[in-house]
Structure 1
Amino acid sequence: MRHVNYLCFFAVFLSSTIGNSQTLSEKIDELIEKKLPNSSIGILIKEADTDKIVYSRNPNKLLSPASGMKLLTAAAALYQLGPDYRFITSLTRKDQNYYIQFTGSPSFTVDNLNSLLLNLKKKNVAIINGNMIIDSSQYQPPFYPSGTSYDDLGWYYAAPDTAAILNENKVTYELTSAKELGGPVKIRAKTLPKALTLENELVTVSKEEEKNHCSMNLEIKPQNTIRLYGCMIQDKNPKLIELAIPNPLLLAQQIIKNVLNENKIKLAGKITTGITPTNSEFIASFHSQPMDRLVTHMLQESDNLYANSITKKLGYSLTRKGTHKEGAYAIKKILSEHTHLDMSQMEIVDGEGTRYNLVTPEQMVVLLSDIYHDQKMKNVFFRALPQAGATGTLKDRMKKTMLENKVYAKTGSMHDISSLSGFLINPHEKTYIFSIIINGVNKPLLKAKSLEEKILQALDEYSLEGGEPTHS
């Protein structure tokens, strides 16, 4: 009887051991089949130090990574401009004219512009006999990537990427619904109260009404005017929204006029636009944070304006043309020189990650592998990437799970697209590089994000069990 028991135990152990060699592959395949069987999914997972493939599924399939594209933008910026590069906004003079030269600093604020202009008072300038000229010529139109959705225009995540950027070219508003259904919605500016003119036609409705019959919409009109119309759900708590400033130059003109008036500096000419002469006299300048800090913000918050401005700056640095097309060209050229990426295996049209961009999971892993094996780049990226359950766009994901603080990755989300590409680190175990790109999600996007996390959880369990790499 004891002999039979030993045989049974050995059979179970052997079965478990054999099954364990296929556990990860089978488990991930099962998760995909269960959660999103009809979606287009590409996955590649490798050991960072050995390049051994742990799991793959359609690794060479071209897919849209959405904001996962910002990984390429960040890498190109750090390779080309360097971690210490700073955007410079300057105030200069030539003859009777004064010039403010904007160069696309994505973190430049209204307060920064005020401080820059106050240098006129410090220099005892009482009258400007010529014009005050705004130079935003480094970046040319269009001021939105070609893949920008029409529905996104007017909202903060589609703020125009002009060279003149103030407070990220957006305004925050607080919306309060009426106590009675059908009543008007009250709107109050939380920032830059005079930057936009709002036409408010929003009405208060029930949750059921909003779900089936109406929505909040906006229309961009001339002179930084936005019409808000449609409905808002009745709620006892105010709602915050952020709207893009359609024409940042108008806001810059407004601020310049106010500062001159407040400091009793007379302007004989007018506030207009133009190009700064090369031999103009320096008065003052404002330097942005260094590029590694800007890249950190871009990746942590998935900030489209930062990505687009950095992309245009890359284009300008190579061709002296600050456009999306030149920026995309620059990203491809820079990364082809500094990494092992195969540019024929991707389509890059902008730096933020609109639908027109296409990459393969394999190429994302190639990029991340190059970063991992470059100590300087690795240090910057591990500080910059969102960390599971802790920072950025992963702050509220994988919290209080076995993945918390172990995953450093860039997220991507857009309509029917979700992606997650980065690193999984097991203390005292192995580091894995992964890219999961999911297109064609016909269910709530949370389903795709849940799948991403389940896959990483399976990988983490597999790693802790010490399994050998298996892939499909």
Structure 2
Amino acid sequence: MCGLLVISFLCSNAVAKQWEELQPLLPKGTQVSYLVVDAKQKDLIANYQEETLRTPASVQKLLTATAAKLYLGKNYRYQTTIEGNRRFIKKGGFSGDLSFYFTGDPTFTRKNIREMLQSLKHLGIRKIQGNVLLNNSHFNGYQWSDGQAWNDLGVCYTAPSNAIVVNRNCVLGNLSLANKDDKQATLFIPQYEPVDITSQVAVVSKEQKEKQFCALEVTRNSHNTYHLLGCMLPRKRPLPLAFAVNDPETYAQQIVADELKNLGIKLTGKVLVDNKVRGKSYQSVLVSHQSPELDELLNVMMKESDNLIADSLFKTMGGRYFKQQGNFRNGTKAVKAILKAKGLDLENAYIADGSGLSRHNLMSAELFMSVMQFVYAHDKQLRLLDTFSISGVDGTLKYHKGVNAKKLKGKVIAKTGSLKGVANLVGVVKSRYGDKLFVLMINGYNKQNSSIDADIPRDPEASLYLFEKAFFNKIYNFKSKG
């Protein structure tokens, strides 16, 4: 027993060593930081390299969610409007330009555009003698954060964060084989999607694929034109595809023009993009659409790790906090300031976005623990723990192998964070001896890395999941000496 003062230091070292003995379960070269604290007593249970800055990936969303709840409030909604001077509504038409103001609503859809235009028609506007101006001035700067991988930008999980969002700035399609002997895959994209996507994808055997070093690739060009090339293996079911809309303005222009035509609203002018900053105006709101409330947005953002919602909220906070157009730069300053006002000084952390997609982001386990402790202590006010994924139940932890043991089902409540070589978790373990807060940051992880010739003996089955299972079992079974 380690109750004597004279051996307390040796005892704490022994406990630390027991936790460090788990590390050979990870492949050689893996970098790990962790911090485990008793939620109620705030006693330190385990720590390792907790001050080291590492790539956070999507656990970065914990910062975004906390700042958004504190600053925007649970009832916050995005609002999209069509505005114009009511005096210009005459004899079944509108004489002048109409403005369509977008505010970065990540849930806004083509159906919402149709509904808003239908409402416009119900006001008696069946002809617009002017232009429809799509205003994108709510945000400025880059659509993607500094440090995102260029070759990920064509897929939907990196859809651009723009003031104009329609259908999540994402187009779905598939590649299929009409016959099992086909040598060329067939591309399907819905006809109503205003994008230009061509394909030249060969169907090859596994041996041919390895010999030719080929893969499925996509090139992106201006005005939402794409070309698929490379190869794929034979398959019975279509291969799902999800293309990020890299030019949201052009995409929205074509959709609005199509919906006006479908509804029989005649437009004498054009659908144009307007980037003038919104100021005092004589215009009135003719039609408006609101997003779901913040709590609903955060639930999707956290449980499903939604990048578009996170980056839109990040820019929104930047714009509102500094009373200017939102962007990634002022979003960074705003989030840090909002959290610091609550005693959460992120010190030397580097924050590039709200989603965690940027490789420039740097956070330590120690800093994440300070935020986690705040979230836990203020759960009645923030209600953020309800948005975390639950092991074996929902979200990104529903099928997560590292926490799928029967006794851990429903016991690990966490935000996940994954990129190539990154596997992080931040949250709570509902252990048999009370709640334990934890931060686990694994970087430099390569599942193909050999466990042979390591400085310390490694388990022959060394893997991320083997380590996670042992790590969370240890937390679940840990009983404080006091």
Identify whether the pair has TM-score above 0.5, normalized to the shorter chain.
yes
SS at match of 2:406: coil
Please report the TM-score for the alignment, with normalisation by the length of structure 1: 0.89
Q: Which residue of 1 aligns with 2:470?
A: 454
Alignment pair present for 1:55 and 2:54: no
SS at match of 1:62: coil
Given that 1:177 and 1:232 are in contact with CA atoms closer than 8 Å, whether structure 2 keeps it comes out as: no
Q: Which residue of 2 aligns with 1:10?
A: none
Given that 2:379 and 2:385 are in contact with CA atoms closer than 8 Å, whether structure 1 keeps it comes out as: no
What does the per-residue CA deviation read over 1:417-440, in whole Å, with 9 as the maximum and x for residues that have no partner? 11111111136x311110011111
How far 1:269 moved relative to its partner?
1.6
Give distance in 2, aligned partners of 1:358 and 1:123. Answer: 52
SS at match of 1:133: strand
Corresponding pairs, count: 444
Which has a greater percent of helix?
1
Given that 1:27 and 1:458 are in contact with CA atoms closer than 8 Å, whether structure 2 keeps it comes out as: no
Please report the TM-score for the alignment, with normalisation by the length of structure 2: 0.87
Q: AA paired with 1:61?
A: T
Give distance in 1, aligned partners of 2:23 and 2:207. Answer: 33
Given that 2:336 and 2:345 are in contact with CA atoms closer than 8 Å, whether structure 1 keeps it comes out as: no
How far 1:207 moved relative to its partner?
2.5
Alignment pair present for 1:194 and 2:193: yes
How far 1:98 moved relative to its partner?
0.8
Bigger mean CA deviation after superposition, 235-244 or 449-458? 449-458
Given that 1:418 and 1:437 are in contact with CA atoms closer than 8 Å, whether structure 2 keeps it comes out as: yes
Q: Which residue of 2 aligns with 1:468?
A: 481
Q: AA paired with 2:303?
A: Q
Change (3 A) 1:81 1:450: farther
Q: Which residue of 2 aligns with 1:299?
A: 302
Task: State, as a whole percentage, how many aligned pairs show the same letter.
Answer: 29
SS at match of 1:202: strand
Q: Which residue of 2 aligns with 1:385?
A: 388
Give distance in 1, aligned partners of 2:310 and 2:191. Answer: 23
Q: Which residue of 2 aligns with 1:221?
A: 221
What does the per-residue CA deviation read over 1:262-314, in whole Å, with 9 as the maximum and x for residues that have no partner? 22222122111224563311111111011111111111111111111111101
Structure 2: which 5+ runs fail to align? 1-9, 89-95, 450-461
Give distance in 1, aligned partners of 2:125 and 2:40. Answer: 62
What does the per-residue CA deviation read over 1:3-29, in whole Å, with 9 as the maximum and x for residues that have no partner? xxxxxxxxxxxxxxxx99988644432
How far 1:36 moved relative to its partner?
3.5
Give distance in 1, aligned partners of 2:469 and 2:102. Answer: 42
Give distance in 2, aligned partners of 1:209 and 1:303. Answer: 36
Give distance in 1, aligned partners of 2:393 and 2:210. Answer: 33
Change (3 A) 1:208 1:30: farther
Given that 2:83 and 2:98 are in contact with CA atoms closer than 8 Å, whether structure 1 keeps it comes out as: yes
Q: Which residue of 2 aligns with 1:65?
A: 56
Bigger mean CA deviation after superposition, 342-351 or 76-85? 342-351
Change (3 A) 1:62 1:377: farther
What does the per-residue CA deviation read over 1:138-188, in whole Å, with 9 as the maximum and x for residues that have no partner? 111310011110110111111111111111111111221464567111122
Alignment pair present for 1:174 and 2:166: no
Q: Which residue of 1 aligns with 2:91?
A: none
Q: Which residue of 2 aligns with 1:205?
A: 204
Bigger mean CA deviation after superposition, 88-97 or 365-374? 88-97
Given that 1:126 and 1:265 are in contact with CA atoms closer than 8 Å, whether structure 2 keeps it comes out as: yes
Q: Which residue of 1 aligns with 2:380?
A: 376
Alignment of 1:383-422 (within 5 A): 383-397=386-400, 398-422=403-427
**What RMSD over aligned residues (CA atoms) do the two structures have, in Å?**
2.2
Give distance in 2, aligned partners of 1:310 and 1:211. Answer: 42
Alignment pair present for 1:32 and 2:35: no
Change (3 A) 1:406 1:20: farther
Given that 1:180 and 1:204 are in contact with CA atoms closer than 8 Å, whether structure 2 keeps it comes out as: no
Q: Which residue of 2 aligns with 1:43?
A: 34
Give distance in 1, aligned partners of 2:465 and 2:329. Answer: 31
SS at match of 1:63: coil
Given that 2:375 and 2:385 are in contact with CA atoms closer than 8 Å, whether structure 1 keeps it comes out as: no
Given that 2:175 and 2:186 are in contact with CA atoms closer than 8 Å, whether structure 1 keeps it comes out as: yes
Structure 1: which 5+ runs fail to align? 1-18
Bigger mean CA deviation after superposition, 257-266 or 22-31? 22-31
Given that 2:25 and 2:467 are in contact with CA atoms closer than 8 Å, whether structure 1 keeps it comes out as: no
Give distance in 1, aligned partners of 2:423 and 2:128. Answer: 53
Q: Which residue of 2 aligns with 1:243?
A: 243
Alignment pair present for 1:365 and 2:369: yes
Change (3 A) 1:135 1:450: farther
Give distance in 2, aligned partners of 1:192 and 1:87. Answer: 30
Q: AA paired with 1:195?
A: P
How far 1:192 moved relative to its partner?
7.2
Give distance in 2, aligned partners of 1:41 and 1:112. Answer: 45
Q: Which residue of 1 aligns with 2:354?
A: 351
Given that 1:44 and 1:435 are in contact with CA atoms closer than 8 Å, whether structure 2 keeps it comes out as: yes
Given that 1:178 and 1:184 are in contact with CA atoms closer than 8 Å, whether structure 2 keeps it comes out as: no
Q: AA paired with 1:355?
A: R
